[in-house]
Structure 1
Amino acid sequence: MHFGLHDYRRARSASWLPCLALFLLLAGCAEQEMDKQPKYQRPYQESTFFADGQSARPLVAGTVARGQARTDRAYYEGKVSGDLLINEIPTKVDRKVLARGQQRYNIYCLPCHGATGDGQGMIVKRGFSPPPSFHLERLRDAPSGHYFNAITNGFGAMYSYASRIPVDDRWAITAYIRALQYSQHAKLDDVPAEIRPKLEGQGR
């Protein structure tokens, strides 16, 4: 049997393969400092490191998300100092805003509150508890901030819509609710003079 130089090189190369595989295996099993770092597996997990016992750190005072500085409390919360609910809608209300409010109302509110705000929407007709009518005196007298806060934070059986309805649309819905209330309780004196004769004729 002849064992040439080529065969010798092949045998020598093959002998290194097990050594290389063993080296890579050992390298993968070697301890790394990253494995020893303290870490928390769950949000708000308890901690013995911090004095308050919580792993999550509170935000630095005055911290706001980029693009979300909310310095106008009346607009973003419907309140002023002392948590007093505002009565006036803190944005311009025109036909465009009311149309937007009607559209959003029909999507989010109408199923329970009904088309006229009487609390007799389709969900109620299917057996769910009715919400109060917007036309009750106490709700007609409620400040506009009440409706904005109800949409934002939920009220009674109604859950929060803050994640579904942007701030602008919450005020638009509030304006439309006011329009609904006004439509059911307007007086003849509230109607422009040039239209009154037509309405008076319909009442005869």
Structure 2
Amino acid sequence: MEIAKLVLAYLKVLAWPAVAIGAMLIFRAQIRDIASRVSRANFLGLEIEAAAREVSAAVEAAAEAETGALTPSEEAEAVRAWLRPLQPSGNTPAQREAMAAVNRLEQNLRRLAWEVDVEVVGRSTRSAAQALIDRNLLTPSFFRALDELLTIRDAHAERPITDALATELAGQARQLVLVLRSAYNAHHRTRVVGE
């Protein structure tokens, strides 16, 4: 009898969270749509503001300084293009894997740099990495490793790398992505606490 009461007590406690989670799963598309349109939210004293205005202002200022004013769609396209640069791929599976890993590393680094300082949009990947070092999110040793990987990748078109080097390159790029994820998490912890 006590086991039945214990089970009933657990069910009573878990009923509302289960209903809430179920509702969130059922309406996740609508929730995602609403959340994408929100630019500012306040929850239990914690205020979160989307960085879209900052990015838009930085891209607009840079564009006006160089070529005149951009339309909002051109601004967004400029940011998207910078966040997803086109890079070479390899001839063998190991080379393709290595190039894809270095490309992911570059994209992750640019995304973090953009979130930290929107003024890096349009600069080189190395310049974006330096901006993160200046903010103590990355170390100079990370920069040296990144520089080596980018140099090998960029030279790959003229002088293809061996599969053994490609495998090593992919492993190093994946390790640097883990370092970037740690820096990303550190940045977001600081950002939430600081606001």
Tell me: higher relative CO, structure 1 or 2? Use CA pairs within 8 A at least 6 residues apart.
2
Structure number with bigger Rg: 1
TM-score by length of 1: 0.27
